[in-house]
Amino acid sequence: MSAHSEPIPLPATRRRMLPALREWTEREEVFSLLMILPPMAFLIALVGYPFAYGIWLSLENRPVAQPGTFIGLGNFMTDFRDPTFWQVVQNTFVYTGVATVLKMVGGLGLALVMNQAFRMKNLVRAVLLLPFIVPTVLSTIAWMWILDPSFSVINWLLVHGGIADRGPSWLGNGSWAMFSLIMVNTWRGLPFYAITLLAGLQTIPLELYEAATIDGAGALDRFRYVTLPLLKPVVFIVTMFSLIFTFSDFQLVYVLTRGGPANATHLFATYAFDIAMSGGQFGLGASVALAMLPPLALLIIALALYLRRA
Amino acid sequence: MVEDDGWPVRALRLWLPLGFFLIFALFPFYWMAITSLKPNQELYNPQLMPLIVRHPTLKHYVDLLGETDFLVWTWNTMLVATVSTAISLVFGTMLAYPLARMNFPGSALVSFAVAATYLVPQPLLFIPMAEIIERMGLGNTLTSVMLTYPTLLIPFCAWLLMGYFKSVPRELEDAARIDGASRLQTMFLVFLPLCKPGFISAGIFAFTLAQNEFLYALIFLTDTSVRTVPVGAIAELIRGDVFYWGQLMAAALLGSIPVAIIYSFFVEHYVAGLTAGAVK
């Protein structure tokens, strides 16, 4: 950082006309609040208001382009009686749980591998992040082709490698479709885990490992008693992030399966989209989206408090 | 960690797992590239070994650029990403500077609200948002996404910048204040010029997020002339049940390249932004 050595231009006295006003805006709290006001107003108008309006919508029976009628918790009652809704709940938890564990384990593995010294490390790190930075929809289209029912390259390899007579129907069978979604989600999210955990690993002082080695700790002990405890805060934050955004995922499912076959891969977001956008029932759709809120709110509040403290 | 290993150990601990992860990470891109170069008779012949191209052709690229509005979508995407990134950096700075540097009533609440807003996922908001945009008469305009993307990006930028701002020493600002500079002058002439790396990190990150956005674009933009690349590719290159795989892969590759190029210039900043929240 190069410091400015030339003198700071001093304020002229041209504002003498309104010295009182100027003095007022120079007060720390006034300056801060004036500065914060425009972005806060923007966020309240376009995040706070839609959020509140969404809650209102969920309490209405509201076919598209018609005035709604207030029906209290009617939409939520409809959801709870809808077997598809419960299927969606189950799908979302399976998808989030399995994908998060895979990203965690794989990401930690990759971070540990990357934490060794080797040539072109920065290049490798940059390349490994590609799945995370490329627009999700575009890379998912590539996966769709990799998993194509007739021309899947994985199946070609399975068949010609003598492993199977014919490969699985990746997107046509409910369980395989969920498996495929989890695989693609892991593919995309793993680099985020790995690179963040790697950054965390690099903050651990080498002396600690040396001290542990002198005390007779083996590689496994060093991992368990030095690496893991010191990595815990990073692991916590990355996991919370991943949980929030995997739980509310939309793009991947919309592109790869549209929730099918037979709702086997619908998540809250895609199901809400189907009901509201395709089915035109805004109130009911809003209620499905809001059903995500209780578990999400817990995660969001916990993480927001934690981040603010840090 | 400290000991010196022979090459078999090193191969087992480094190159083997690294090779596996590299293949897993890069294969879809290889597949995009190779598919986009194959002529159709090769693409849809199940007898041929699919991992190589025999007769490469640029036909899919020519068709993509000539027969579809891909270039329009690319332009729209760039424009929207640039505008929403700019808005987000300005508003993000206005939030981050007071939060990082000043004491004011309610600052704890504001910083909590910013962190929480950052974490509120879009699917919680898209249905009411669709109606609000419709009511404002902004359906099928790029304005609709230029207004809504910053809602996703501002909290993120504010939060990333706040961390960066806190890492800049206060001495210069104190000196400027003592010399009689106003708070605004101190902020603009003294402080912000020191924060370029922070702005680059936040800007790159916001830009890639904006290019990546899909849900709002899908709902608000239904006319081909205002579509962005992700929505255009999904909605128009997949016509009914017919998949033009060559063209789709060409579009996926071309759509990824601008992001990848920008990213390659600023990897360090990107990684700094990515890990800023988790690693202090």
Count residue pairs from A and B with Cβ separation < 8 A: 320
Largest CA distance in chain A: 88
pLDDT in tens, B51-94: 888 889 999 999 999 988 999 999 999 999 999 999 999 999 99
| A222/B1 touch (CB, cutoff 8 Å), yes or no | yes
For residues B276 and A235, the answer to whether their CB atoms sit within 8 Å is no
Please report the pLDDT score of residue B277 as a whole number. Answer: 63
Say which range, A154-168, A249-263, A277-291, has the weakest mean pLDDT: A154-168
Percent of chain B with pLDDT over 70: 95
Q: What mean pLDDT is predicted for residues A151-175?
A: 87
Please name the amino acid found at residue A10.
L
Residues whose CB falls within 8 Å of the CB of residue B260, separated by 6 or more in sequence, listed in order = A130, A133, A134
Contacts of A116 in chain B (CB under 8 A): 13-14
3-state secondary structure of A61: strand
**Which H helix or E strand runs over A155?**
helix A153-160
Band (pLDDT 50/70/90 cuts) for residue A2 is very low
| B124/A124 touch (CB, cutoff 8 Å), yes or no | no
pLDDT in tens, B155-212: 989 988 998 999 899 999 999 999 988 999 999 999 999 999 899 989 988 998 999 9
**CA-closest candidate to residue B247, choices B51, B37, B78, B86:** B37
| B127/A192 touch (CB, cutoff 8 Å), yes or no | no
Band (pLDDT 50/70/90 cuts) for residue B11 is confident
For chain B, give the mean pLDDT: 89
- Please report, in angstroms and rounded to a whole number, the separation of the first and last CA atoms in chain B: 23
Tell me what ipTM this predicted complex has.
0.90
Mutate one of B35, B90, B119 to test the A interface: name it (highest A CB count within 10 A).
B119
3-state secondary structure of A187: helix
Distance in Å, alpha carbon of A188 to nearest chain B alpha carbon: 8
Single pTM value for the model: 0.90
| A307/B159 touch (CB, cutoff 8 Å), yes or no | yes
B32 touches chain A (CB under 8 A): yes
DSSP sequence for A285-309: HHHHHHTTHHHHHHHHHHHHHHHHH
Contacts of A148 in chain B (CB under 8 A): 245
Contacts of A305 in chain B (CB under 8 A): 112
For residues B115 and B160, the answer to whether their CB atoms sit within 8 Å is no
Contacts of B94 in chain A (CB under 8 A): 35-36, 38-39
Rounded distance, CA A134 to CA B209, Å?
Answer: 10
Distance in Å, alpha carbon of B187 to nearest chain A alpha carbon: 11
Of A133, A238, A282, the CB nearest to B263: A133
A269 touches chain B (CB under 8 A): yes
Distances in Å between the Cα of B23 and the Cα atoms of A112, A124, A155, B11, B19 are 18, 12, 17, 16, 6
| B180/A11 touch (CB, cutoff 8 Å), yes or no | yes
Please report the pLDDT score of residue A64 as a whole number. Answer: 75
A292 touches chain B (CB under 8 A): yes
Q: What mean pLDDT is predicted for residues B134-143?
A: 93
Band (pLDDT 50/70/90 cuts) for residue A3 is very low
Residue A219, pLDDT > 50, answer yes
Any idea what DSSP says for residue B190? I
Please report the pLDDT score of residue B1 as a whole number. Answer: 45
| HSE (side-chain half, CA atoms, 13 Å) at B47 | 1
Contacts of A204 in chain B (CB under 8 A): none
Owner of token pair 């995009």: B32
Rounded distance, CA A118 to CA A109, Å?
Answer: 16
